[in-house]
Structure 1
Amino acid sequence: MSEAAVYTLKNESVEASISSLGAECISLKYRGLEYLWQADPAVWGRHAPVLFPIVGRLKNDSYQHAGQTYSLNQHGFARDCSFQLLEHSEQHLSLVLNADRESLKRFPFDFELIVRYTLSDSRLQVDYRVNNPSAGQELFFSIGAHPGFRCPLLPDRERFEDYELDFGKQSLSSLPIYALENGLIGRKRKKLDLKQGKLPMGYDLFRHDALIFDVQSFTGLRIRSKKTGKGYAMQFPDFRWLGLWTKEDNAGFVCIEPWNGIADTTDHDGELKSKLGIIRLSPGSFHAATYQVELLG
């Protein structure tokens, strides 16, 4: 594999760096302060991976399609692939990944995945477009984002517990969440209690893995320090699920993950076409989804 190229986007207040490896944003600075997790390999060795062609874990790390069995690791392979440059300017970047002989061994579909980054004021917009260039075959896939943000942003002045989740609706008193069982979606649902749409951050929230929400009663989330006012907000109106995750106590980051797709259920039959949340693209069609990150300072 050739060495990854790194592209920079910049305006008066924000500077973003994106790698051609995985089309992954690897730095996001606002007024000189780094907001993105810096991939400490001793904790979590990624920054903001693109999840494709699956989101989450497959039951037995495999699936069936057209009578054949294929293996895929959690979150798919795009995050470890080299993307090609389509466009790069001071505030725009587009990268593309196409199916090839290696991808067809694990995922027997033709596809074109385009990831586009756009800077505007204190915001970074990320656009996903999946094209099905096949003349006669449906494309079955999922796609999602997994950006990790430094939390706390100023560890010498604040703690993880100084931050607050704000779902943007004071009328929200609770939200249902999925229960994970060994990385798969269990049958039971839990409830997260809120106070006027808000919830203090704490590592106990993530004691049993990620928090996973249906995005029905909210389409945005703000995580902000009550001490310094710094933080980040995300809008994700094109996505069906949202995951929130950190790895362990004092990990130093939190991930805000909009998904169009989700892990297998514990009772899934293994068929890709019947997987929860799978997207089906007819030949010649496309799927597009956008999320936007605002840096708060």
Structure 2
Amino acid sequence: MSSPSIHRLSLGQIEAQIATMGAECISLKKNGLEFLWQANPKVWGRHAPVLFPIVGKLKDNQYSHNGKTYTMGQHGFARDRDFELIEKTEQELTMVLKADELSKKVYPFDFELSIKYRLTDNGMHVTYNVRNPSENENLLFSIGAHPGFTCPLEAEKESFSDYLIDFGQKEINKLPLYTLDDGLISAQRKTLALVAGKIALDYKLFEKDALILDVAPITHVSVISQKTGKGFAMEFSDFKWLGIWTKEKGAKFVCLEPWNGIAATTDHDGSLENKLGIEKLLPQGLHTAEFKVELMG
């Protein structure tokens, strides 16, 4: 495989850059304005990592399968592996990662993960395809997205707190949230209070880590500046959970994270098959999930 590289896409006013390392989108612009977080290593050194074959953290960073224990860090290994470019036009591309000797040291499954980026007139569609090439074994996995969006988009004119999160349903005044205990899902739940389906961005919301909610009935969210009207939106009906996160007070980004998978629970027995959020893909099966990003401004 060739060394990691960066590929550029363009369609009208939309431009993107995709790195083969992690198949990660590292730039997404509209009319020259950068919407994607530029990976300041002093704050958070990633842009939009792909989470596979787990989402979130494992208890003690370990899991068991078929009587053997494996160690794997938070969010899995795909984000740190070089993907192969298999198809590219001016407006879209597809990259793939397959199981190999390195992956099987921590994840004993055959898999084929392909990621397709396609530009639209106002943003981007991202499609995840997970294929199980095995003829006799189920593929146990999770997959999720972790894009960080620049917020505020125009720091000289606005601040983080000038933005509203709009969940798109005015009749909803509260949403149930999962809570994290040292990165694991606890039995406790809390509630996010909304006003007509909206809430102002505030760093205090993230003092206990990410906001994590069930996708149903929420399948769309937008983050819009009350001062400039600029912002970004995401549709994620193919996913089961949504995480919303920023790193720390003063960090100039917010992540919208659609997941088919979630961190292990505090009482997880360690078995990968029993872990919350694990997808079970039959031999020769295919799992497809897409999310859509719209850029406003």
Into which bin does the TM-score normalised by the smaller protein fall?
over 0.9
SS at match of 2:102: helix
Code of the residue aligned with 1:95 in structure 2: it is M
Rounded Cα–Cα distance in structure 1 between residues aligned with 2:56 and 2:218:
22
- Measure, in 2, the Cα distance between the counterparts of 1:202 and 1:194: 13
Which AA in structure 2 matches 1:220? H
1:155 aligns with 2:155: yes
Provide the C-alpha distance between the structure 2 equivalents of 1:57 and 1:13, rounded to a whole number of angstroms.
Answer: 38
Structure 1 CA distance, aligned partners of 2:296 and 2:13? 11
Matches of 1:205 and 1:2 in 2, distance apart? 43
- What SS is found at the alignment partner of 1:189? strand
The residue type equivalent to 2:124 in the other structure is L
- Over 3 Å off, 4+ runs: none
Task: Tell me the distance in 1 between the aligned counterparts of 2:48 and 2:194.
Answer: 27
1:5 is displaced (CA, Å) by 1.1
Superposed displacement of residue 3, structure 1: 3.2
2:169 partner letter: K
2:269: which partner in 1?
269
Aligned residue number for residue 80 of structure 1? 80
State the Cα deviation string for residues 83-133 of structure 1 (Å, max 9, x = none): 001100011100000000000010000000000000110120000000000
Amino acid at match of 2:111: F
- Percent of aligned positions with the same letter in both sequences? 57
Which residue of the partner structure matches residue 13 of structure 1?
13
TM-aligned CA deviation for residue 69 of structure 1: 0.1
1:47 match? 47
Deviation string 1:137-156 (CA, Å, 9 cap, x unpaired) is: 11000000000001000001
Aligned to 1:97: 97
Partner residue in 2 for 1:165: 165
Rounded to whole Å, the distance in 1 between the matches of 2:230 and 2:250 is: 18
User: Which residue of structure 2 lines up, in the alignment, with residue 60 of structure 1?
Assistant: 60
What is the alpha-carbon distance in structure 2 between the residues aligned to residue 160 and residue 92 of structure 1? 32
- Measure the CA separation in 2 of the matches of 1:289 and 1:217: 17
| Partner of residue 189, structure 1 | 189
Q: Which amino acid aligns with 1:126?
A: V
Deviation at 1:11, TM superposition (A): 1.0
Structure 1 equivalent of residue 205 of structure 2? 205
Which amino acid in 2 is paired with 1:161? Answer: S
Tell me how far 1:4 sits from its aligned partner.
1.4
Aligned AA for 1:119? L
Partner of 1:129: 129
* In structure 1, C-alpha distance between the alignment counterparts of 2:69 and 2:86, rounded to whole Å: 34
2:174 matched to which residue of 1? 174
In 2: Cα distance, 1:3 partner to 1:105 partner: 22
Name the aligned partner's letter for residue 18 of structure 1: I
RMSD, matched Cα: 0.8
- 2:81 is aligned with what amino acid? C
Deviations 1:157-188 (A, max 9, x none): 00000000000000001000001000000001
What is the CA distance between 1:20 and its match in structure 2? 0.2
Q: Cα deviation per residue 1:238-272 (whole Å; 9 max; x = unaligned)? A: 00000000010111100000000000000000000
TM-score by length of 2: 0.99
1:29-48 to structure 2, matched below 5 A, reads 29-48=29-48
The alignment partner of 1:106 has SS state of coil
Q: CA deviation at 1:62?
A: 0.4
C-alpha deviation, 1:19, in angstroms: 0.2
Aligned mates of 2:120, 2:155 — CA distance in 1: 28
**Secondary structure of 1:277's partner?**
coil
Aligned residues: 297
SS in 1 for 2:258: strand
Give, in whole Å, the separation in 1 of the partners of 2:196 and 2:42. 37
Counterpart check, 1:215 vs 2:205? no
Amino acid at match of 2:172: L
Corresponding residue number in structure 2 for 1:253: 253
Is 1:244 matched up with 2:235? Answer: no
- Partner Cα separation in structure 2 for residue 272 and residue 193 of structure 1: 34
Task: Name whichever of 2-11 and 285-294 sits farther off.
Answer: 2-11
User: Distance between the aligned counterparts of 2:140 and 2:291, measured in 1?
Assistant: 22
Shift of 1:2: 5.4
> SS at the partner of 1:217?
coil
Secondary structure in structure 1 of the residue aligned to 2:110 = coil
Output the amino acid matched with 1:202.
D
2-side partners of 1:105 and 1:11: how far apart? 41
User: CA offset at residue 277 of structure 1?
Assistant: 1.1
CA distance in structure 1 between the aligned counterparts of 2:203 and 2:24, rounded to whole angstroms: 26
Question: Where do 5+ consecutive residues of structure 2 fail to align?
Answer: none
Which residue is 2:281 aligned to?
281
Q: Deviations over 1:217-242 (max 9, x none)?
A: 11010000000011100000100000
AA at the equivalent of 2:25: C
